[in-house]
Amino acid sequence: MRDRGWDGRPLLGELLSRGRVQAWTGSHRIPAARRAGLLYVPIRFVDRRRVERRMIRCGYGIGEVLISRLPEDWYDDDRLDFLTRAGDTHAAALLRMEIDTNARDDRAKIWDNRRSVRT
């Protein structure tokens, strides 16, 4: 990151009151960006109005941090479905990329572990 800056997809986040940001994805990349001295991290914010309307329709409470009001046992696929049904297609597409990348990385780790056990 120090050499090339931010390389990859933007984070998915939620803009909170007082200008703070709650990361929905990529929370491990934020400290890396800070250590690298980056002044800019690309973030795509969820559409709060769409997400709040969907939460109300589904009976979830609304607080300052929307993601913490969703069920704790939800995985990224559940959040993806929720964003899609809320009509936030941009956030859903970004979350889909995150899920796909994580799945690829997990498969690569499994493959590497199997290879190291055989040798």
What are 77-103's pLDDT values in tens digits?
Answer: 999 999 999 999 999 999 999 899 888
pLDDT tier at 114, thresholds 50, 70, 90: low
Choice between 72 and 82, residue whose per-residue pLDDT is larger? 82
Mean pLDDT value of segment 18-26: 87
Whether the pLDDT of residue 76 is over 60: the answer is yes
Residues with Cβ within 8 Å of 70's Cβ and at least 6 positions away in sequence, in order, are 55, 60, 78, 79, 82
Residue 18: per-residue pLDDT: 81
Whether the pLDDT of residue 106 is over 70: the answer is no
* pTM: predicted TM-score of the whole model, two decimal places: 0.77
Residue 79: per-residue pLDDT: 92
Left (φ > 0), alpha (ψ -120 to 50) or beta: where does 37 sit? left
